[in-house]
Chain A
Amino acid sequence: MIKATALSKSFRRQGSRKDRVQAVSDVSFEAGNGQITGLLGPNGAGKSTTLRILATLIQPDNGSAEIDGFDVTEAPQAVRRQIGFLPHNSGLYPRLTARENIAYYAELCGLDARQSRMKTGELIERLSMRGFADRRAEGFSQGQRTKVALGRALIHEPSTLILDEPTNGLDVMATRQLRSILRQLRDEGHCILLSSHIMQEVSMLCDHVAIISDGRVALADSIDGIRERTGQADLEDAFVVAIGGRLEATE
């Protein structure tokens, strides 16, 4: 369960002392357990910044966010126990094998050698990684990398999964496989939050959507709710209307 309220964050512009860029100015939304929530928005809208705040990697300037009732700034350690984070680029260690990459995180989360071996083995089966589990990550395809990173994020059985553009660079089959894994996790009661700029992706996978543009959440509702509130049957049109664009201009 994620609850973000009026989050804002600005960064210093590269190479300048005073000049600041407002990455996120007003982000509020909720993501429930047993649901897949999509953070939908164009590039540079503030999706990654929002996810990094939720993953306790950076702190908001204003506003607050809670995960399972724990505040991201006040109780970051408790939040970290609740979340599994899959960053934009899967961030694997190229000289370690898939199994070693996952086992490393298992041990860091406090599992002993036996538990770590068992859990890692389970995840390798579950995410169908057996074919490449003992190969070094160096030459992995994007799909294989995403699977390993997902396995790593799931190793400590977090209630909440935060995924930054997980389908980026995946081919059709890998995307379908990932979707089915995420649906399974949802059905087990996990709270899943993912970011995407691909409309089709979000409409196929998500139960709930928060549309983000220029650092603000313009609209947050179920897919049907968004269609209803914007008066558009097509989600893409609904998106354009929601972020304040004009349909004729974009056609």
Chain B
Amino acid sequence: MNPIWTIFKKEVRDNVRDKRSLFFAVLYGPVLMPLLMIGPLLLGMHRNSIDFEEPKTIAVVGVERAAHLMQFLKANNLDAQEAPDDFQQEIEAGRIDAVLEIPTVFDDRFRAAQPADVLIHYDESDEDSRKLKRQLTAILDRYDRTLRQLRFQARGIDPRIFEPLNVVENDLSGEGLEVPFIAYIVPFLLLYSMMMGGFYLAVDTTAGERERQSLEPLLSLPMSRISPVLGKYAAVFFFVILSMVLPLITSYALFSFLPADLLGSGIDFGPHTFLVAFVLGVPLALLITAFLLTVAAFARNTKEAQTHLSLAMMVPLVPFFLLQFMNVPTQTVTLLIPIISQFKIMEMAVASQAIPVTHFLLTTAGSVLAAVILLGATIGLYQRERILL
């Protein structure tokens, strides 16, 4: 049997029995992190958004005083119902969100083309009440505009006279389309999850093996010293890729709860974007694995490995913070730089831009090259007797 495969199997089995390794690989990154990072964000968006399509009822005082307005409300998914007499207490108690009051003089003033009052009773401190009030205001605004135009036309006046300016905005920023912070959240999440998922395995298979003194007999076996490094690499990679794919699925599920129009036009969090994230994630996983393994292998014991890794883990996170306040252009050079390139391409995917195949080739080449260099350093270390001292 191939020793690399044997070592891979053993390390995976060994670490599946370690609850800590398993927790970080299948629970922390894949489930807890997406819920903690994306959950509140989506929930916040959900709460602030108003679904104008969803039919709701609105309590109205004096339904019969403004039949036309009631029809307009109904056409906009607000069904008028007569409000109870004690509606003020009901609003305070939170049992009714908002009440539209049509005063008795409404019809007279309306017919006389005088400004006719309508009152909105609501509770500013209550979120649902605020939302219904916003929805009501928006619909009444539209009603107001329609009526104004009709009245001008009835008197033979062009309503456009009252619009001296027509401002047209022409955004020439092109590629630099402002992609919200949310575009970085998925690659950041994957990056962090991969590092946490491979962390304990990297430490356990390298520094841990040295500390337990099981490396000496292992290296006295008749096999090439490259095999243990590659076997361990494969095992860590398995955990890392698991910590990439699982949170990808979780975040996709979370984003699919979001109404499509909420993120704004041109923002894509559909299957295509997540497919791009996966394609970008595989070479990144190769690199993260090599990075974790190398840092841990050069440490003398597990404690040192954990300290070094905790500090080293900030390195892959630096590009994320840099991109927050630096304008990095998307060029051949930047696309070769691991992590920066993945973030830039994700930005394009989220902004629904077409991504050239060369972009994928460049980011893969850069990450794989870096992974090979790091892995080479570890293989070199295992050839030297320093690994046993």
Contacts and interface: CB of A to CB of B under 8 A. Distances in A.
Asked if A pairs with B, the answer is: yes
Given A85-B220, A91-B212, A91-B216, A96 B10 contact: yes
B221 interface: yes
A108 B223 contact: yes
Interface in B233-275: none
A93 B220 CA distance: 16
B217 A149 contact: yes
Contacts of A87: 213, 216-217
A66 B215 CA distance: 23
A111 B3 CA distance: 10
A127 B129 CA distance: 79
Given A88-B213, A95-B14, A107-B6, A52 B388 contact: yes
Interface stretch (A29-37, A53-61, A176-184): A53-61
Interface string A132-173: 000010000000000001001100100000000000000000
A96 B9 CA distance: 12
A40 B258 CA distance: 75
A207 B220 CA distance: 26
Contacts of A93: 10, 14, 212, 214
Interface string A41-69: 00000000000100111110000000000
Contacts of B214: 91-93
B1 interface: yes
B217 A107 contact: no
Interface residues of A, number: 37
A55 B220 contact: yes
A128 interface: no
A106 to B, nearest CB: 9
A77 B388 contact: no
Point out which of B212, B215, B217 has the most chain A C-beta atoms below 10 A from its C-beta: B217
B189 to A, nearest CB: 30
B385 interface: yes
B222 interface: yes
B213 A89 contact: yes
Contacts of A59: 385
A91 B221 CA distance: 14
B355 interface: no
A90 to B, nearest CB: 8
B221 A108 contact: yes
Given A52-B388, A57-B385, A104-B6, A86 B14 contact: no
Interface in B343-372: none
Contact of B222 (A81, A86, A104): A81
Contact of B388 (A57, A83, A153): A57
B215 to A, nearest CB: 8
Contacts of B213: 87-89, 91
A53 to B, nearest CB: 10
A87 B18 CA distance: 25
B219 to A, nearest CB: 6
B7 interface: yes
A59 B388 CA distance: 12
A210 B225 CA distance: 32
Ranked nearest first, the 9 interchain pairs of A and B with the lowest CB-CB distance are A91-B214, A80-B222, A85-B220, A91-B213, A107-B6, A81-B222, A58-B385, A95-B17, A87-B216
21 contacts: A11-B389, A57-B216, A57-B219, A59-B385, A77-B222, A83-B220, A86-B217, A87-B217, A91-B214, A92-B212, A93-B214, A94-B212, A96-B13, A108-B7, A108-B221, A109-B223, A110-B222, A111-B1, A136-B17, A152-B217, A156-B221
